[in-house]
Structure 1
């Protein structure tokens, strides 16, 4: 089209130049007087002037028109070319948005009223862009025959680059498309992706060289965009997969951190569990720990009662106290006997709906318990742990069962730890010869009982007695016979005193008794009765054929009338015992009967402390 404009412009300029030359010749002739005033001159000269003016105006118009058309042509084509070759697409666009943009350029270039761009994928033609049609008029279709009709393609650009070609549409393909289409452009991408552009009319035959080049650029670019979109989809799926893996990684990190926190809290709680040496506190802490770790609503521990011969719920959490007290289990009932020998400690067994008159099972399930397991300590059955439903009302998972087994084993170790501690404590507080408490336990227990008596305003008595002439006894019968007497006195004392009294070996042949809630009259009768019982007791020994007898001298003091502290109470009882020894032995005295001045105590106590 650009060459046509230049050719027409040159022709018009040639005609104007010829006319100007003819006019010049006439004007030159008009300058000759004989010719100007002749009959021809008077006619030709004015006409030449008029014609010259017309030619000049026509020349100016042709120059302006040709210049405007050239500018308009260059502007339109440069704009079309710029829109065609530009590649300022955003990094992330909607699927097929590239096709829609370029298909609009095809619409401008081919000047068709209707058109649809189909992408061939998965065995069918799918519309991705269209103009001049309603959405309801377009549909995907499957077509296996020839798309193009046999037409003359001489006026249509043939394949160039990635461009396959343009042709008319076969009748079969037109019926498959479903709307009155007339022309088709097919193109393929290097990656093997096919696309088809279908239009309502034959493109204008006046496609010039530049338009043909623009058409080829558009078609080639759409072909490249096919591969680009496929790559985009592949990259998008990869990005989606990476995003999923990233989210999964975040979730795994959160799960890992939660597990680490759970393990840390479990380790911390288990460490605290092993430091608890009080059985009641241990069981309550264990219930709180197992409810927190497993997310339980309630839990309870049943212990065997020796007196009643039944299992009672001794400790419970998340359940009313009256309900706890009402739950009782028979050792031979269906619940306890339901645990087989294979169900070791920590093996959780589900409570089953009772089929008969199983009141125990019904009561447990009514209280909200769902499962139970055995607790062991020292190789023996310690009790049974019953657990309720979870806070989220879910069933127990396999991880819950494993965690339950770990916690129960920890509980077993903690119970054995308490048992070992009791044994060690008993050994540290027990006199190995007599089996009575030693002086360390005596002094500790005396302070505890004084604190209790002071708090509740009660009396507390302390009696100390010494075996009379025990050195003479050892020298006469031997030290082994003396040890036998000490052991038998220890056994006999436990039989003589009350269950609430605390009997200890003070040291050597001295013994002491802590008597709770005992006043002066009661302690006077008690120590006298004790003196007489020991006096009449016959001590047997394998080192002598005859039985031996011993006597004791006893002294006692009472809180708060005689003393208000442990040290002064021991001093007062000791002074009463020494008074009995000085008065002839085998006697019992009360400190209140001695009438000793208070300054005596103060002086001797200060000396003892120093």
Structure 2
């Protein structure tokens, strides 16, 4: 067929109406350009697009041809074009199509295209008039053109068949050629994988009298190829993994009738055949499996036609697969948008955690799971919500980044899919009794590159292992969940600081409401990490009398001085608040009761030694303080319990004569007879008693018990 006629026939395709076509042929002869491709025919719709396309494709056309598959390219800042390599009548060709652009326009690239001193804006109206297309649309057009070119090559196959007759080979007739040609046209219109396989196999059976046919196509993960009987064989024949695919599509077996050897029989024992002919299914460099004929004598020219048909089927299967992927991605995007609307209605962290875990479980049919968030220190992790186990118990578990399955996911930021926890070398652990299956998925919750937690799911409803598709779906949702968690935390944090004034305006210390929030946080952290925590309540003695005698201004100044003494006695990590009136509270994270008693004595002594104006007029002639000490976990495990225990200790200190420290007694100590309130003694004697009887005796006994 003349070159111009080929382009004319191709332009009959409706999809090519807006495209320019240029056909390149590999040159031969004793000239410098030997082996290079040069244009031999063209049908130009737009000269600017043709010029940009020529500059892009011509320089590396040999590379495009050697790849052997259609190529779709974006160039010039926004133009699209495709190149299809093929051979016909013993010559090599490349067909280039161009003339469309993507929706956005790159002005910088337009500036480089402007001629004769023009600028990018002079070209803008012209470029805007061009038709727009997406990468996927251009890819579909290229596939249609490839299939059409394959049809033009059929007469060449017929010529080879007639030549084969002269050489004594089995020819193929016009009926076989027509059947394959019609099948390729039907394939072009097929919409499903099943339809493609049916068209191809019906044609092979009717035109070439195949005894039995099987098809191998990749599963969802692309790691194995289930083999299905489509003619003369059982439906389910087994599975070939990707590493074993070479046994079936090795060069010496492709398109040739060979023995059905022992290795292939071992992988697919359901197939009891003597010989086979295998045709690989490959499109644009992607392996899609193979088509196999069994116990059928396929001659060379028949194999050529079947190979062309298999190639057309592979191209169409690839196109259907990409369409399905795009549809799935669009459906997922729509679903995620819907889930976003749902999650945006939630303004509570606990409800958000519950909703995220519920949605994630429904997405992949999991029955158990948890959400873990990394502490601010980046060392520990806290379980904030669970499904399938008690939340209160889960919150008591001590979890660390880098330890265990979830800890490793938190450390690496890489998702983990485990089919069998006992056999997977990455985890290699005995399955726990509360898990019904051995498969699990752990997904990192990320904000940009920072891991903030882990989403864990296990036990599918059907108890089958999770799949790579489950992992991909959950990963997409985890990105949304991370953003929602960050949003809710920011909103709650902002609301908390808007509603509460966190500091006491007189002393500059934290106020009572903020103290409660921080103390609960420190209690949770101490519980997770197995740390001690101690609180000290400080109350000024006879402060009402001092305030009445010296005046409110002097009273305010005394409170400020007391706040400074307490702050100077603590570490930077400790928390101190004005609890109310003349009462203060200090929180000492990671501190035992013995250690806190030392700090309490430092505070008591500091207040006692401080000279407050007018203090000689109050009953003890000195402004002093009484202190109550309580520790987690022995004196309480909640905010209310610890405050109550320290409050009782504080009032016991008051009852014993003031200016002293009393530690809360444990449950065993509470069974002992209560100490008698000492008789009234002079101030100096009472002060000495506070230092020796209460503080030193307790400290000595505690140190001895630890020793």
Could you say whether these structures have the same fold, taking a TM-score greater than 0.5 normalized by the shorter chain as the test? no
Based on CA coordinates, which of the two structures has the bigger radius of gyration?
1
How does the TM-score come out when normalised to structure 1?
0.31
The alignment's TM-score, normalised by the length of structure 2, stands at 0.27
